[in-house]
Chains A and B, each alone.
Chain A
Amino acid sequence: MSLNATDWLHMVLHFLSLSLITFGGVVAAAPDMHRYLVDQQHWLSDPEFNSSITLAQIAPGPNVLFVAILGWTLGVQAGGGMDAGPVAWAWGVLAAFLCLLGILGPSGCLTLVVSRWGLRYQERIGVRAFKAGMAPLLIALMFSTGWLLLPPIQADAQHAPGLVLTAVSVLLMWKTRIHVLWLLAAGAVLGLLGWV
């Protein structure tokens, strides 16, 4: 796969255009990135996209870092793949930085403006109505993100253990205050044993 200058521009523009609508965190915008990068442009495969989110959730740090991994994967591919060595890594780092800047730039500037001017506007009725109206959609977006990460939904026995594991983690996250590290460790062990 090779990306020309226009493709790079489109990629950054896509993240820029999402920045100001990432209410409720960037993970809620993941379905749209999937639609663009996987379904529409075919720059990334499904497993590549999914593993970006998984890696970012496993590692410490803000969840928005999955955007950096998406960028890294794109950049490395554009630079000739991992076999191309440091040149490809440099492209990967550059692309990761550009994608992060795209997704965080506009919203970050807005935050600085609002906090500098001390605009405590969250009491206004317009803002409260906006939050109340968006709340159900935000939850829908989070569900969509989780849904997207599921193994292909088939009545296939091969995927059944994975779906059971997902269902159990849904229940534990929802009903208990268990630390996520335990869940992730359990997943890692089950995977290594080849049970899932």
Chain B
Amino acid sequence: MTDEVNRPRSCWDLFLTFTWMALQGFGGVQAVVQRILVDQKKWLTPKGFLEDWSVAQTLPGPHVVNLTLMLGDRYFGGRGALCAITGLMLAPCTLVLCFAALYQGLYELPAVRSMLHAMGCVVSGMIMGNALRLLQGLKGNPMGLPLCYAILAIGFVVVAVWRIPLALAWLMVGVPSSVWAWRCMVRPKVLP
């Protein structure tokens, strides 16, 4: 791995690269972003990638979409951002809508319905499995593990069981917990 960085030759290059990247991203593009942008295209060094990725992760919105917009904008301004995001979305979106259209036609077939049902069970498991993986990230959280788990449980009840609007859940759970995290960070020995 070298420190030399390439740059995309044109907006067209951006568009094609992001299209190619998106079409490889089964179950989400996140897994292939680094492989393509850092290892294959060498548009970013590993260090540069981490920096950009952490900005993309801090902001709201899908991380891959954020990173795509940032890179496109950096190379060719607004036009670049537009080309890059179109590349990321257009081909997969067309594909997925064709899927959906076909599926609505095929929905009558019991085999298709039962296949989709089984795959739905797998997807549900994938999402919850990913959530379990993220539990690692709670280690070292300034609020301490027990409180983190308590907040997690409250969040789940509020959103999944009581079905409270997300914005309200952010206010009721997210904001107090952020304030508490801030308190713990400013005054680490605040607890009696």
Contact of B116 among A54, A73, A146 (CB under 8 A): A54
Residues on the B chain within 8 Å of A165, using CB = 118, 121-122, 125
Residues on the B chain within 8 Å of A121, using CB = 58
**Alpha-carbon distance A146/B159, docked complex (angstroms):** 12
- Contact assessment for B118 and A132 in the assembled complex, using a CB-CB cutoff below 8 Å: no
A:108-158 near B, CB below 8 Å: 108, 110-112, 114-116, 120-122, 125-151
Contact of B129 among A22, A163, A169, A187 (CB under 8 A): A169
* Highest count of chain B CB atoms <10 Å: which of A130, A142, A144, A150: A144
Q: Does A186 contact B (CB under 8 A)?
A: yes
**Alpha-carbon distance A56/B92, docked complex (angstroms):** 9
**Alpha-carbon distance A18/B62, docked complex (angstroms):** 12
Residue of B nearest to A108 (CB): B69
- Contact assessment for A89 and B148 in the assembled complex, using a CB-CB cutoff below 8 Å: no
Residues on the B chain within 8 Å of A127, using CB = 58
Q: Does B131 contact A (CB under 8 A)?
A: yes
Residues on the B chain within 8 Å of A112, using CB = 69-70, 73, 78, 81
Q: Does B41 contact A (CB under 8 A)?
A: no
**Mask: chain A, 31-62; 1 = CB below 8 Å from B; 0 = not:** 11001100100000000001111111111111
Residue of B nearest to A50 (CB): B120
Residue of A nearest to B60 (CB): A107
- Contact assessment for A115 and B62 in the assembled complex, using a CB-CB cutoff below 8 Å: no
How many residues of B sit at the interface, in one of the four size bands?
A: 35 or more
Give the shortest distance, in Å, between A18 (CB) and chain B (any CB).
7
Q: Does B64 contact A (CB under 8 A)?
A: yes
Residues on the B chain within 8 Å of A84, using CB = none
How many residues of A sit at the interface, in one of the four size bands?
A: 35 or more
- Contact assessment for A174 and B133 in the assembled complex, using a CB-CB cutoff below 8 Å: yes
Give the shortest distance, in Å, between B163 (CB) and chain A (any CB).
5
B:135-154 near A, CB below 8 Å: 135, 137-138, 141-143, 148-149, 151-154
Residues on the B chain within 8 Å of A65, using CB = 89, 92-93, 96
Q: Does A13 contact B (CB under 8 A)?
A: no
Residues on the A chain within 8 Å of B141, using CB = 132, 135-136
Contact of B166 among A18, A93, A146 (CB under 8 A): A18
Residues on the A chain within 8 Å of B137, using CB = 135
Q: Does A167 contact B (CB under 8 A)?
A: yes
- Contact assessment for A133 and B143 in the assembled complex, using a CB-CB cutoff below 8 Å: yes
Residue of B nearest to A181 (CB): B26
- Contact assessment for B119 and A187 in the assembled complex, using a CB-CB cutoff below 8 Å: yes
- Contact assessment for B73 and A137 in the assembled complex, using a CB-CB cutoff below 8 Å: no
- Contact assessment for A108 and B121 in the assembled complex, using a CB-CB cutoff below 8 Å: no
Residues on the A chain within 8 Å of B85, using CB = 108
- Contact assessment for B117 and A134 in the assembled complex, using a CB-CB cutoff below 8 Å: no
- Contact assessment for B167 and A17 in the assembled complex, using a CB-CB cutoff below 8 Å: yes
Residues on the A chain within 8 Å of B101, using CB = 72, 76, 82, 89, 92
Report B's interface with A, CB cutoff 8 A: 22-29, 51, 54-56, 58-66, 69-70, 73-74, 78, 81, 85, 88-89, 91-93, 95-97, 99-101, 103-105, 111, 114-135, 137-138, 141-143, 148-149, 151-156, 159-160, 163, 165-167, 169-170, 173-175, 177-182, 185-186
Other A-B pairs beyond A39-B163, A61-B88, A139-B138, 5, CB < 8 Å: A31-B159, A63-B27, A107-B62, A162-B118, A187-B115
Instruction: Give the top 8 A-B pairs by smallest Cβ distance, nearest first.
Output: A61-B92, A173-B129, A169-B125, A107-B61, A191-B118, A133-B178, A140-B155, A129-B182
